[in-house]
Chains A and B, each alone.
Chain A
Amino acid sequence: MEKTPNQKAWFLVLPVLILVAFSAVVPLMTVVNYAVQDSFGNNVFFWEGLGWFEQVLTSDRVHAALGRQLAFSAIILAIQIPLGVAIALCMPKRGVWASVCLVLMALPLLIPWNVVGTIWQILGRTDIGLVGHTLAGLGIDWNYARNPVHAWITVVVMDVWHWTSLVALLAYAGLQSIPQAYYQAARIDQASRWKVFRYIELPKMQGVLLIAILLRFMDSFMIYTEPFVVTGGGPGSATSFLSIDLVRMALGQFDLGPAAAFSIMYFLVILLVSWVFYTVMTNLDRAEGK
């Protein structure tokens, strides 16, 4: 069939372009605007070039926050992924109890971030908090507001409590999709429980686990509300993760230039990580479908 060149179809894309422009591009550009300029107020701006980026990249304070951030993400991944898988393996496969478990597991996920923070802030208090009081009763001088180790433990336990369910539910869905014949074949092959996990369950969960790791990494890498409510980033800057530090820089000190440069690099890091994950996952799918 003869095709006549016709460019009118581009107009059909226009509404989306306008929407994306106002929802993403314009706000992002204002950040870029701040990142390359300096201002002393009165809407007077001076060209700064890549100065702010350089300053942020060489700042010890940002390095320390990044280090804390990576440590935090690594710790919660190292706890939540195996724990979530273990919980999923223990959950009943069918029946009433399966539904009960699912609802119970989903509960923490439904609680707003700042409420979670508040819950754990109160739980950790030695005067009225259940956990804090118990620990104090055991002779431990528990104080998450003054002791950095205690602060870290509180924040990590809080995140584990809040988000392990997500990993467990994803892993559970992965387990449920394994046909019964695999388990029967394994019994006939006399495979041990460990081998069933290693050669059947783990490979079949691979896809959902990658998604779980991606989601948990991104979420923990961007965490703000919960530690802010519990510790406010303290004591000192012991629990000041990237977001908390960023907000402190932008709104606390009103260093808009460095904060904007910081934001852009933060955004690029997350974009990069997502892209890597996306590539790995699509490659896996391709290998699967071959």
Chain B
Amino acid sequence: MAGITLDNLAHSYVAQPRGPEDYALQELNHEWEDGAAYALLGASGCGKSTLLNIISGLLQPSRGRILFDGRDVTHLPTAERNIAQVFQFPVVYDTMTVRDNLAFPLRNRGHDEAHVAARVQEVARMIGMQDMLGRKARGLTADAKQKISLGRGMVRQDVNALLFDEPLTVIDPHMKWELRTQLKKLHHDFGHTMIYVTHDQTEALTFADKVVVMHEGRVVQIGTPQELFETPAHTFVGYFIGSPGMNLLPAEITGDRAVVGGMPVPLGHAYGPVAGRVAIGIRPEFSRLSDEGGLPVIVRRIEDVGRHKIIRADLLGHDISMIANEDEVIGPDMTRVVFDPAHINVYADDWRVAPRAHNGKAA
């Protein structure tokens, strides 16, 4: 296992990139800790698969270096990087038995049969397929095939990292949950460095220690699920994570107070001068419908999703969402929205502005 360092990494699929817009992956510096589980989260086409393929060596980056435990592997072919990758569609060798599938990477590397047999037994136990070893891989279910491709990755003991490229896309919903739990357990038991690409926030947040959110070829935030939820570093993170996403309202900021449409909104922290396109971001979970205080809203519709209600409303021409408890009564006189000051974030040109320290006193 290894820590992975990305050093000034950038990639363009165009031979002669002219500007930043030609890059599928914008310049990126990052250190991936040894033994941690990361999720790369982003919408389709945001560059997350590009990044994964650069790490696995299936793609050569246009610029920058990639290091495993300090060793430069930028120009090493995939086979010499000792990584394992599980793809979106399960890759198994149809004509081989499950046993031969699991043994394949070891036999190709010339390990002796006794070692191969021992490792295959061990991995089969890890992925729970001991009683299927003699079966042909053809005709197995998608989740069994995906387990085999995972097993082929883990059968090598010296594997530097396990990479997953949206591995649960073709798996039935009830098996998704089981496989994800199993992955999490394997990570817990064996401590492989794992990088997991997905566009599903639930998958990312439940699987990973750290989630890397990507947007338009750029890493916009790396953080724990809690950090992503409470302090989204970019409006995209606020919008992409959470259901529904964060509310965004254009505002002016003066000290510990924001002004939205001429009306004051108290903030939990004080801010220095903020320039650019300024907005405040507040999650629906911290927005409450009320009959007094706050800002005026017109309720458009209420969606009952079982555990809670989602209130969709119009605030001075902006769409906002609020979350109310299942048993909360929503009366006709409730025409105001109140924000929890502690959970309001301030954004300038889509990036989060850090408040001044000590709640109001200049840092």
- The chain A residues found within 8 Å of chain B, CB to CB, are 179, 181-182, 184-185, 187-192, 195, 199-200, 203-204, 287-290
Chain A's closest residue to B93 (CB) is A199
Shortest CB–CB separation between residue A194 and chain B, in angstroms?
Answer: 11
Which stretch from B101-109, B216-224, B263-271 is at the chain A interface? B101-109
Are B58 and A191 in contact, CB atoms less than 8 angstroms apart?
no
**B30 contacts the other chain (Cβ, under 8 Å)?**
no
**B83 contacts the other chain (Cβ, under 8 Å)?**
yes
Which stretch from B84-92, B197-205, B315-323 is at the chain A interface? B84-92
Chain A's closest residue to B85 (CB) is A188
A residues near B85, Cβ cutoff 8 Å: 184-185, 188
Are A195 and B108 in contact, CB atoms less than 8 angstroms apart?
yes
CA distance A190 to B83 in the complex (A): 11
Are B77 and A290 in contact, CB atoms less than 8 angstroms apart?
no
Q: Which residue of B56, B105, B138 contacts A189 across the interface (Cβ within 8 Å)?
A: B105
A203-B149 contact, Cβ under 8 Å, with A188-B84, A287-B138, A287-B139: no
Are B139 and A290 in contact, CB atoms less than 8 angstroms apart?
yes
Shortest CB–CB separation between residue B36 and chain A, in angstroms?
Answer: 21
Q: Which residue of B77, B89, B139 contacts A187 across the interface (Cβ within 8 Å)?
A: B77
Q: Which residue of B78, B88, B93, B139 contacts A188 across the interface (Cβ within 8 Å)?
A: B78
Are A192 and B108 in contact, CB atoms less than 8 angstroms apart?
yes
CA distance A189 to B79 in the complex (A): 7
Shortest CB–CB separation between residue B251 and chain A, in angstroms?
Answer: 47
B residues near A289, Cβ cutoff 8 Å: 139
CA distance A204 to B94 in the complex (A): 9
Total CB contacts across the A-B interface at under 8 A: 57
Shortest CB–CB separation between residue A85 and chain B, in angstroms?
Answer: 16
**B95 contacts the other chain (Cβ, under 8 Å)?**
yes
Are A199 and B96 in contact, CB atoms less than 8 angstroms apart?
yes
User: What are 25 residue pairs bridging A and B, where the CB atoms are less than 8 Å apart in the complex?
Assistant: A179-B91, A182-B91, A184-B58, A184-B78, A184-B85, A184-B87, A185-B87, A185-B152, A187-B77, A187-B79, A188-B56, A188-B79, A188-B85, A188-B105, A189-B105, A189-B108, A190-B79, A190-B108, A191-B108, A199-B95, A199-B104, A203-B94, A203-B95, A287-B138, A290-B138
A residues near B79, Cβ cutoff 8 Å: 187-188, 190
Number of interface residues of B (CB under 8 A): 25
Are B139 and A179 in contact, CB atoms less than 8 angstroms apart?
no
Are A181 and B91 in contact, CB atoms less than 8 angstroms apart?
yes
Shortest CB–CB separation between residue B294 and chain A, in angstroms?
Answer: 52
Chain B's closest residue to A286 (CB) is B139
CA distance A203 to B96 in the complex (A): 10
Are B139 and A200 in contact, CB atoms less than 8 angstroms apart?
no
In B129-158, which residues have CB < 8 Å from any A CB?
Answer: 138-139, 149, 152-153
Shortest CB–CB separation between residue A199 and chain B, in angstroms?
Answer: 5
CA distance A181 to B53 in the complex (A): 11
Shortest CB–CB separation between residue B138 and chain A, in angstroms?
Answer: 6
B residues near A199, Cβ cutoff 8 Å: 93, 95-96, 104
Are B77 and A191 in contact, CB atoms less than 8 angstroms apart?
no
A187-B78 contact, Cβ under 8 Å, with A199-B96, A203-B94: yes
CA distance A287 to B109 in the complex (A): 31
Shortest CB–CB separation between residue B12 and chain A, in angstroms?
Answer: 19
CA distance A182 to B93 in the complex (A): 9
Shortest CB–CB separation between residue A179 and chain B, in angstroms?
Answer: 6
Chain A's closest residue to B59 (CB) is A184
CA distance A122 to B320 in the complex (A): 82
Shortest CB–CB separation between residue A22 and chain B, in angstroms?
Answer: 45
Besides A179-B89, A181-B89, A204-B94, 20 more A-B contacts (Cβ < 8 Å) are A181-B88, A181-B91, A184-B85, A184-B87, A185-B91, A185-B149, A187-B77, A188-B83, A188-B84, A188-B153, A190-B79, A190-B108, A190-B109, A191-B104, A191-B108, A192-B108, A199-B95, A199-B96, A203-B95, A289-B139
Shortest CB–CB separation between residue A258 and chain B, in angstroms?
Answer: 47
CA distance A191 to B89 in the complex (A): 19
